[in-house]
Structure 1
Amino acid sequence: MAHHVRRRTAAALAVICATSLAAAPAAAADGPDAAALMAAVEDHCGENGCHDILPPGQNGNATLVDILGNQLFGTRPAHSSDQLDMYDDLLHDYQGLDDAGLDSYFMDASFGVAEGDVGREYSPRDDVSIIRDDSYGVPHIYGETREGTMFGAGYAVAEDRLFLMDVLRNLGRGELTPFAGGAEGNRSFEQMLWSTAPYTEEDKQAQIDRVAASGERGAQALADVDAYIEGINAYIDASQERNDYPGEYVLTGHKNAVTQEGEIEHFKPTDIVGIASMVGALFGGGGGGEVQSAVIKLAFQNQYGEEKGAELWQAWRMENDPEATVTVDGDFPYSGTPEDPVGQVLPDEGSVEPYDIVHDEQGSAGGDGSAQAAASQQSTAEGDEQVSDLPEEDRADLEAKAEEGDLEAAEGIFNEGVLPADLAEPRGMSNALLVSGEHTASGHPVAVMGPQTGYFSPQLLMVQELQGPGISARGASFPGTSFYVQMGRGTDYAWSATSAGQDITDTFAVDLCEPDGSDPDTSSRGYIAQDGSCTGFEELTVENAWEPTVADQTPAGSYRLTALRSEFGLVESFATVDGDPVAFVQRRSTYMREVDSIIGFQKFNEPETITSAEEFQKAAGDIGYAFNWHYADAEEIAFMNSGANPVRAEGTDPNLPIAAGSEAGWQGWNPEDNGADYTPLEQHPNTVGQDYLVNWNNKVGRGYTAGWGSGSVHRGDLLDGRVSALIEEGHDFTKSSLTRVMMEAGHTDLRGEQVLPVLLRALEDADTSDPQVAEAVAALTAWEEAGAPRREAARGDGSYQHAEAIRIMDAWWPLLVSAQFQPGLGEGLYTELTRAVQVDETPFGDGGHKGSAYQYGWWSYVDKDLRSVLGEEVEGPLGEQYCGAGDAEECRTLLVDTLADAAATPAEEIYPGGDQVAADTVVHQPLGGINMWPIAWQNRPTYQQVVEFEGGRG
């Protein structure tokens, strides 16, 4: 801590101004009897049957006094960090975990609030009551009417995430920088979303109107949204009247702390569409990248010749690798490369010009983020020391600073952006472990599962319970779309999701033209439309300007964001094909259809609809986003892959660009609303009653979409190998034993467990007489035999077990990959492949501190090539042998040489500051004004459930 927090004195504490209250009173109303409504709710979790957790804490709102207190004294609002140590503790304690101990590491996720645990009970209007439990501040919302329930959900989410929601809606408008400042993180994220989901207000409203008119469910869903927005806006009005609104509005210049001038804008339905599009783009998309794939194919053909190059490109693509671990048994062919492609397009070599949506940029990227970086490491305190815990003189000082507008303590807290740049990276971090009752001690299925949405303060998700007519659920939702629980539990069932990433995005090549008939080139901004006319691209433009604020001191600047839209899709790049200019445009099946998925989520929350695993699968089929859905009740486990998978015309190659004017493409496609024919539910990977299900964003089924490098080694192997081995041994799983499996995999180095064994086999016959090499081999061998952990022996040790082996592996891997493959591939092809699949993804890589690791890397390439060179059996080989040009002795020499270099690499050249443990630590990046302390590295979902139902509704 920057300042020592002095404990509460024995004297009674004076109450400071309303702006510092951790739990402000709700609007007064005579609500329904929450206790009676709670008693009527049916719950089949049984004793200790349902748990969940979402660090750092439920409360994501902070007043100006709270923020100043955090910056000056390290205090935090109540319930903003009380789940953080629980989450971290499991890593250190899991080996002794039993079912009775789950309460120490997870919240009780039963419905209702236990007697004696009621923190606040209030009614923002007369047909809904909200109870916040005293333990963690989770809102339990009980509505007498459906409308009241949704209103309560809106009021509660605004209490917990108002400023974050405002950030997200402005992001959805493409206007984050004028709202929150011009920092690099804000601009990067703003540009990413505007390039993938640029919408006018009319576009958003058209989606709403279409779904509302689609039938009874659509009309109900939009009525739910309207009531939800009313609740949000009611809280906005009440908080401004009380002057206890989030302090970030002052720090970003939207409210004046002294005069209280300025208004927080009310939400409207189109804002919800914008937030949904952000969620879909980050977590529910899939496909795309066809231009990059084409460039790589050309590079293969340049290196090996046309025929051989095409074969090797296909081998490295690994779209259906026979050695890949899959989640679901059976074949589910989709989006594979056809034998006789039609309409396939390759750009001319070197002709691709990426389209930059940024125009007329001015101003600098802003500060170096030092204030935020320092703040995020500020405190290692545990618990929820609040402003009210400070001595009276300190509290009075904070109050005076807020009243006088003395905000120096909060200067620069958003210098890196209120949304960090790496949040815009593709997400693939969630996992799920489900075991059928046949292999559990109780005879009922057990599930440990959750999404990994990154580590932020406040968290991107929030937890709530919704109880009202037709609705009964508890779990996590994205703020701004939390009118339904998106992942959680119902009366006698639970569900969760991982990002699937199957191919719902294609790239089309459209011919460019000039309206006057002159010869076009890649600077032309007209294209040949379906009717044969030369049509100008539609320009979707936002003009953004920003000024320095207290929180973001980036110098003033401005720019224009302009996305180009054709009837075929959004422009990604320009190029020539056989000398003729084209635009490559991307078409995502959920573009202009962001609202459609609302129906599936609506059903998930309805016990009368979800009466079996099969009914859950049908509901998941109404979700257009690409997700893997996992389900458990008292009798069955099930899996369903969702997504609006377009039916492609025969011969269409979805892995490369498609000629827009050809017979290839999407069947039944309507350019007016981007509708198309979609593959039926049964063709998506699905199962009911499989022995076990594990998924860590790995390939879900044979023949189904897989990304580059999805082969013999994947992070999912860390889960699959452990669960399958225990089943083979006859282990009867419990909630705690399955949690232990998850946690063990969550601190394991994938390279050390899955690839190091073949490296060590190769070194057995190598000359390792050099003492430094011999010591390195011994250290790596001991680490591999211990299970390749990245974990301290005890919390706070400051160094990893097997620290030397980990240092060597971290240094060795990039040296090894380059030496193994670059000579054979050639520098150009090798570089292009590293753009498709990064070489390594360690906990500390790319700035580190993000938790998730080992999703993307060259694990399979290294593994397959080494086994091939050593003469071991390889299914789906790479087509060529690369290590030592295929000579086993030369390969061993290469391994020894690179290992020697790695062993000689000091820690200071690998880790920032040379501190291995500190480099790996997870840091919750601020999405508001409250910072958290770092926790130990763990590869684990951020929201996580542990569930086992004892029975059901029959």
Structure 2
Amino acid sequence: MPRRTPRNALDRLRTPRGIHGFLKSASICVLIAGLLSPLSPAWAADTTPGTKQDTAATAANDHCGGRCSDILPPGQNGNATLAEILLNQAFGTQPAHAEDQLGPYANLAAGHPSLTDDKINSFFNDASFGVPADQVASTTRPAGRTDVTIVRDKRTGVPHITGTTRYGTEFGAGYAAAQDRLWLMDLFRHVGRGQLTPFAGGAPANQGLEQQFWRTAPYTEAELQAQIDSAAARAGERGKLALADVDAYLAGINAYIDASDKGRYFPGEYVLTGHKDAITNAGTIEHFKPTDLVALASVIGALFGSGGGGEVDNALSLLAAQQKYGVREGTEVWESFRQRDDPEAVRTVRDGSFPYLPRPADPQGRALPDAGSVTAEPLLYDRTGGAAAGTADRAAARAALGSARRGMSNALVVSGAHTASGHPVAVFGPQTGYFAPQLLMLQEIQGPGISARGASFAGLSMYVELGRGQDYAWSATTSGQDIIDTYAVELCQDDYHYLYRGTCTPMEKIERKNSWKPTVADGTAAGSYTMRVWRTKYGPVEYRATVGGKKVAYTSLRSSFLHEADSIIGFQMLNDPDYVKGPGDFQRATEHINYTFNWFYANAEHTAYYNSGDNPVRADGVDPDFPVWARPEREWRDWDPAANTARYTPPSAHPRSTDQDYYVSWNNKVAANYSAASWGNGSVHRGDLLDDRVRALVAAGGVTRAALVRAMADAGLADLRAEDVLPKLLKVIDSVPVTDTAAKAAVDRLRAWLTAGGKRAETSAGSKKYAHADAIRTMDAWWPLLVRAQFAPGLGDDLYTAFTRNLSVDESPSAGHGATGAHAGSAFQYGWWSYVDKDVRAVLGEPVQGPLARTYCGGGDLGACRDALLATLKEAAAKTPAQVYPGDDTCAAGDQWCADAIVHRTLGGIKHGPISWQNRPTYQQVVEFTSHR
């Protein structure tokens, strides 16, 4: 195994050198003080013994009939004392409930083929309301309150919060959140403010996280507060209720901070980062305030709910295409690769048309850069005020959280007309990446106006955000429609003034001056830098260029900017049993969520879908795929720059549906004529893996929960390239018998793998070896080679490279690909699958709807295409495992299973072992309601 390189502020403790170095430098008194800290979960310190929960009320309101389940690895408990951290790093021991959901989650990969309904809870938690009396592990009355009780179950430690008053209920939700995720919540309120390094140390990944998110939401404290005030004011009585809920929730968090400080069972990371002294208990853990929640929300929104952007890269690839082929043909080539509305793309809503951002017949106001003029706006500055070289490991930052942005959230929902019970069945959940502790936490909340169980983002858990109510369940996937536009603002006077509606206007400079000291957990030296963002009325500056010789700044304007708190009302409605009584209520609730999500719903009789997001109405003729001039006639309609509000497309224009025979979503195309900002929604998409399986189940009828779980899990082990593209590649190769011995052996291996199902599955549970390992290795090596050989000769290197910036060639599980990074689980969302498929079918003379503008493989000649495929296949087959899987800080070179394996990236002091790869949501529900109110 190669020696690991520390990746984050706490990662030094994960190397033998780091552990021993820490133990030698720490005094024995520190260790004794830490070891005397409670070794039970943080909530155990507040337990009231002998109290049992009365489950009668919640059972009466539970219409799931024991058929609701969920799972969220690694475990509910995300807090650990100093002693628990040291024991984990030295001996691998785990705090209670820190990883007890990881094993069942991982085991589904091997266990799903024989799954039956009665075995579902071997791989999931029982998500019924309440806790049976014999399963109560602890009962807490936080801060001695008599109006709220937190009961935790023995199996998972999930908090079940029951309040007799609204204030008490939300107080309990805040208290339980702090019990389970205080350190993570603290970490992310600092990330959202661009102040992580002063808080947690200057390790490269900390710098990267800080920079990655603050650039997208560089708010002042006044702006954070203003977002709370404006969101509440616009929502009337529900806004007032939300403010009261936030106040109670924060009071609960702060009560736990005080109790854990007094009892000395606060998270041990506070000691390791120098905020608390293990001997004297000196130091403070700052109380939370309302603006902290907005800072947290800005990070979550940037990760999951902000579709759009990329207009500058689009412009550069269009210019490269026009330079290669001329303006007319180059534009046709570009549009064929863009696939704005590909007729062969799998869609979530299959009926109806929802026009959004169609390609204008006569684009107006484009501001394409002059060749070679584009430069990225620097973020970092040194002490003299000059632009500084990036000191942060941005690749580490993308690997740490980029997987969540490019998540693999999916949904499979089948109408009751096609199920065995006659009730709808749903298997759905969001992919939020794999972290320790997890970004999400489980909870049940029962109180006046609230009745729900499910997952919520830590620090934003005053409501359940994805889960189930009394007789309905809901979930979401990222939809990615375009709510971000790039404007070209013409500079005047100097580089920091621009023309705004005809007036030369100064840019606003927003800065964060951060410095850090070495901590016990951080092996880096002290350091400092300044982050600086220049803001305009049209958003922050991201690039500079010239357009027709004029100096411009390219800015990024998103509709959710300054509106990170607005979605709270939608979530409040989803938790309210008196509001959501059917599909229409569900859709009206999700209309209040301004982030770009696909929302799914199921109760005992109906299913439904709604696409949320504040979609700004563009000016006539504006093509949002490209930068546009910042002039009044090109602005969003009715745009108010001070509040960043505009006219938005009405709910009726958003894709929506009720009782479709089935719904599938895996970040694929939403509906006909509904344009997404992302590339790659073509003839082959990982959404096809779900659609093919669910369509077959629906055709056969009698769908059960187990059958739908099996379909999800089977798709989650499939190699998209093998299942949907390899058959066409083999058809080209088989046009003439293969005589080369090495090539034939490779072809035979691939064919045998395809015949067996094309899965990346272990030979047996826990073997850590793949069946058809050589074929999988060959495909991993072959795909990037064949794509280049197929397209680069015809496109030319410049245009080929430009297109790969728009859409990465490959996203296999083992690749350290783009923003997703290695060991992230998510795979096969982004890649050239559709391009290869359409082009090869064109070479074979087969019909293609929405073809590429040209035929590329072998210049369109079948024989030449076959030669290119065989040559690259031989080259790939000759590569050794160590060449294909070169190793990293987790895996030895050549270890194929490990290269794919999912690793929970550490955001605190506790680490977990890798698990076998599966392409699956992090949090997942399996639901089938048997009755309704």
Aligned 8 A contact 1:364 1:555 in 2 = no
| Secondary structure of the structure 2 residue equivalent to 1:834 | helix
Q: Which residue of 1 aligns with 2:61?
A: 42
Q: Which amino acid aligns with 1:929?
A: G
Q: Which residue of 2 aligns with 1:246?
A: 267
Measured in 2, the distance between the counterparts of 1:321 and 1:420 equals: 31
Give 1:502 deviation, angstroms: 0.4
| Secondary structure of the structure 2 residue equivalent to 1:177 | helix
Aligned 8 A contact 1:312 1:879 in 2 = yes
Q: Which residue of 2 aligns with 1:831?
A: 801
Give 1:18 deviation, angstroms: 3.8
Measured in 2, the distance between the counterparts of 1:176 and 1:533 equals: 37
Is 1:725 aligned to residue 696 of structure 2? yes
Residue of 356, 359, 362 corresponding to 2:381: 359
Correspondence list, 1:322-337, <5 A: 322-329=343-350, 330-337=352-359
* 1:899-954, Cα deviation, whole Å (9 max, x unpaired): 1111111111001211111111111111111111111000000100000000100x
Give 1:844 deviation, angstroms: 0.8
Aligned 8 A contact 2:415 2:425 in 1 = yes
Q: Which residue of 2 aligns with 1:75?
A: 93
Residue of 892, 898, 920 corresponding to 1:918: 898
Q: Which amino acid aligns with 1:562?
A: R
Aligned 8 A contact 1:255 1:263 in 2 = yes
Aligned 8 A contact 2:811 2:827 in 1 = yes
Is 1:927 aligned to residue 907 of structure 2? yes
Correspondence list, 1:101-500, <5 A: 101-124=119-142, 125-214=145-234, 215-329=236-350, 330-360=352-382, 421-423=400-402, 426-500=405-479
| Secondary structure of the structure 2 residue equivalent to 1:310 | helix
Give 1:649 deviation, angstroms: 1.7
Correspondence list, 1:797-816, <5 A: 797-816=767-786
* 1:135-178, Cα deviation, whole Å (9 max, x unpaired): 10000000111111110000000000000000000011110111
When normalised by structure 2's length, the TM-score is: 0.92
Give 1:27 deviation, angstroms: 5.3
| Secondary structure of the structure 1 residue equivalent to 2:685 | coil
Aligned 8 A contact 2:36 2:83 in 1 = no
Give 1:221 deviation, angstroms: 0.7
Measured in 1, the distance between the counterparts of 2:282 and 2:884 equals: 50
Q: Which amino acid aligns with 2:39?
A: S
Aligned 8 A contact 2:763 2:770 in 1 = yes
Measured in 1, the distance between the counterparts of 2:918 and 2:727 equals: 23
Q: Which amino acid aligns with 2:162?
A: Y
Give 1:230 deviation, angstroms: 0.4
* 1:527-557, Cα deviation, whole Å (9 max, x unpaired): 0112x22111101111001111111211111
Aligned 8 A contact 1:111 1:465 in 2 = yes
Q: Which amino acid aligns with 1:487?
A: L
Measured in 2, the distance between the counterparts of 1:38 and 1:237 equals: 32
Measured in 1, the distance between the counterparts of 2:43 and 2:128 equals: 26
Aligned 8 A contact 1:61 1:246 in 2 = yes
Is 1:951 aligned to residue 931 of structure 2? yes
Moved more, 738-747 or 916-925: 916-925
Aligned 8 A contact 1:30 1:123 in 2 = no
* 1:818-859, Cα deviation, whole Å (9 max, x unpaired): 111111111111111111111100111115211110010010
Q: Which amino acid aligns with 1:440?
A: T
Aligned 8 A contact 1:2 1:73 in 2 = no
Relative to structure 1, the CA distance from residue 303 to residue 78 in structure 2 (aligned partners, 3 Å threshold; closer, same or farther) is: same
Aligned 8 A contact 2:41 2:77 in 1 = no
Aligned 8 A contact 1:363 1:555 in 2 = no
* 1:482-512, Cα deviation, whole Å (9 max, x unpaired): 0000000000000000011100001111110
Aligned 8 A contact 2:403 2:433 in 1 = no
Q: Which amino acid aligns with 1:513?
A: C
Measured in 1, the distance between the counterparts of 2:710 and 2:342 equals: 30
Q: Which residue of 2 aligns with 1:867?
A: 841
Q: Which residue of 2 aligns with 1:711?
A: 682
Is 1:627 aligned to residue 627 of structure 2? no
Aligned 8 A contact 1:838 1:856 in 2 = yes
Give 1:19 deviation, angstroms: 3.6
Q: Which residue of 2 aligns with 1:95?
A: 113
Relative to structure 1, the CA distance from residue 168 to residue 367 in structure 2 (aligned partners, 3 Å threshold; closer, same or farther) is: closer
State the identity %.
56
* 1:251-295, Cα deviation, whole Å (9 max, x unpaired): 111111111111000000000000001000000010111111011
Measured in 2, the distance between the counterparts of 1:349 and 1:368 equals: 27
Aligned 8 A contact 1:322 1:875 in 2 = yes
Relative to structure 1, the CA distance from residue 787 to residue 260 in structure 2 (aligned partners, 3 Å threshold; closer, same or farther) is: same
Measured in 1, the distance between the counterparts of 2:403 and 2:880 equals: 32
Q: Which residue of 2 aligns with 1:504?
A: 483
| Secondary structure of the structure 2 residue equivalent to 1:914 | coil
Measured in 2, the distance between the counterparts of 1:326 and 1:152 equals: 41
| Secondary structure of the structure 2 residue equivalent to 1:708 | coil
Aligned 8 A contact 1:300 1:313 in 2 = yes
| Secondary structure of the structure 1 residue equivalent to 2:673 | coil
Measured in 2, the distance between the counterparts of 1:93 and 1:230 equals: 44
Residue of 860, 873, 896 corresponding to 1:886: 860
| Secondary structure of the structure 2 residue equivalent to 1:472 | strand
**Structure 2: segments with no counterpart, 5+ residues:** 1-13, 17-33, 888-892
Q: Which residue of 2 aligns with 1:412?
A: none
Aligned 8 A contact 1:365 1:554 in 2 = no
Relative to structure 1, the CA distance from residue 363 to residue 346 in structure 2 (aligned partners, 3 Å threshold; closer, same or farther) is: closer
Relative to structure 1, the CA distance from residue 31 to residue 685 in structure 2 (aligned partners, 3 Å threshold; closer, same or farther) is: farther
Relative to structure 1, the CA distance from residue 135 to residue 2 in structure 2 (aligned partners, 3 Å threshold; closer, same or farther) is: farther
Q: Which amino acid aligns with 1:247?
A: G
Q: Which residue of 2 aligns with 1:606?
A: 576
**Structure 1: segments with no counterpart, 5+ residues:** 4-14, 370-415, 515-519
When normalised by structure 1's length, the TM-score is: 0.90
Residue of 579, 585, 591 corresponding to 1:615: 585
Measured in 1, the distance between the counterparts of 2:42 and 2:606 equals: 41
Q: Which amino acid aligns with 1:67?
A: I
Give 1:365 deviation, angstroms: 5.3
Residue of 57, 64, 70 corresponding to 1:52: 70
Aligned 8 A contact 1:55 1:943 in 2 = yes
Residue of 680, 699, 712 corresponding to 2:650: 680
